[in-house]
Amino acid sequence: MQILRAVESGMCFGVRDALAVLDGIAEPVQVTLHGELVHNPEVLALLDRRGFPRSPEATRAVPSTPAVLVTAHGISERERQRLLAAGKQLIDTTCPLVKKAHAAAQQLARDGCRVVVLGKRDHVEVRGLVEDLVDPIVVGSPAEVAAWPARLLGVVAQTTTRAEVAAELVAAIRAANPQAEVRFVDTICAPTKARIEALEQLLPQIDALVVVGGHDSNNTRQLAARGVAAGIDTVHVENVRALQPGWFDGRSCVGLTAGTSTLARTIDEVHGWLLRLAAGRTRSSA
Ligand code: SF4
């Protein structure tokens, strides 16, 4: 059994930079993480051990700590002002590429567009994007596309949307709204695209795929969905403990990739496990 690791996988600069800020915080109990920093239980467990309080994603309550850390997913300007008005010191780790998506949505709104956000309605990044918009639309699947009474529709995407999914949704929006000019600003982030492209290179060579990352991580799920859509047997695990040797019976070439919030250590553990499994099978068949 051969193991092929994607040339681009795992943690992106946005998450890495946010974690570096957290590393530098001397008194974690004084800083509430406003929503999940990343959708990765391994990372969150590390932060819990350091003592950072976390406000649940859905909460509207103002945290009780003097400082609040805005996660890489960002928040709306409305939420920022609410926290500042409550006297909170904000430590902002919003990814610059999420800020670009906010700027694009705001520009489209200023240009007179009704703004459509492609993404998951309940995702913290999407909530941050839409909270500053008037009458926004969120579309997660072609079934949610409708005819909207607008002359101008401005479309942006959650940064971790798969490009082909975005293209499909934009085409569906155009087909359902022939009266409207549809402007699409591609706000999908480069690290997400790079991980999908690296996976595309693996797909013709593999007969099974292991995707490592949080089950709630949008971009990790997109990687797994791409494997499934390509007809490759795919398993999505959060860590090495979830791997089952029997799942690899009869596989000749296994691909390995990971989402943008996955720790390098977690991927290395999975990779090492796969290499040991492959070596054992090679020995036993020799
Ligand atoms: S996935 Fe993209 S947008 Fe999100 S933190 Fe990473 S680089 Fe930034």
Mean pLDDT (whole number) for 1-10: 96
pLDDT, mean of residues 61-65:
90
Q: Whose CA is nearest to atom 8 of ligand 1?
A: 14
Residue of the CA atom closest to atom 7 of ligand 1: 14
C-alpha dihedral sign at 275, 281, 284, 286: negative
- 255 Cβ below 6 A of ligand 1: no
- pLDDT, tens only, 220-246: 999 999 999 999 999 999 999 999 999
Residue 57 has pLDDT above 70, yes or no: no
Residues whose CB falls within 8 Å of the CB of residue 215, separated by 6 or more in sequence, listed in order: 221, 236, 238
Ligand 1 centroid – CA 133 distance (Å): 22
76: alpha, beta or left, given left = phi > 0 and alpha = psi -120 to 50?
A: beta
Residue 72 Cα: closest atom of ligand 1: 5
Quote the tokens at residue 37: 């920093």
Task: Name every residue whose Cβ is closer than 8 Å to that of residue 262 and which is 6 or more positions away in sequence.
Answer: 9, 10, 11, 40, 42, 212, 213, 214, 217, 220
What domains appear along the chain, each with residue ranges and CATH number? 2-10+190-285 (3.40.1010.20), 13-96 (3.40.50.11270), 97-184 (3.40.1010.20)
pLDDT in tens, 86-97: 999 999 999 999
Atom of ligand 1 nearest to the CA of 260: 1
pLDDT of residue 114: 98
Q: Which atom of ligand 1 is nearest to the CA of 97?
A: 3
72 ligand 1 Cβ < 6 A: yes
Quick: pLDDT tens for 144-191: 999 999 999 999 999 999 999 999 999 999 999 999 999 999 999 999
H or E element in which residue 195 lies: helix 190-202
Percent of the chain scoring above 70 in pLDDT: 97
Q: Is 125 a catalytic residue?
A: yes
Q: What is the dihedral of CA 230, 233, 237, 240, to 10 degrees?
A: -130
Question: Quick one: DSSP state of residue 248?
Answer: G
State pLDDT tens for residues 66-115: 999 999 999 999 999 999 999 999 999 999 999 999 999 999 999 999 99
Give CA separation, 54 vs 58, 79, 85, 122, in Å: 12, 16, 20, 18
118-137 residue pLDDT tens:
999 988 899 999 999 999 99
Q: Which of 246, 247, 241 is nearest to 266 (CA)?
A: 241
pLDDT band at 59 (very low <50, low <70, confident <90, very high): low
pLDDT band at 17 (very low <50, low <70, confident <90, very high): very high
- Which of 8, 11, 15, 17 best tests ligand 1's pocket when mutated (most atoms within 8 Å of CB)? 15
Q: Mean pLDDT score of the chain, rounded to an integer?
A: 94
In the set 125, 131, 197, 200, the catalytic residue is: 125
Proportion of the chain above pLDDT 90, given as a percent: 87
Tell me the whole-structure pTM to 2 decimals.
0.89
Nearest to 38 by CA among 95, 118, 120, 121: 95
Q: Given a cut of 60, is residue 286 above it in pLDDT?
A: no
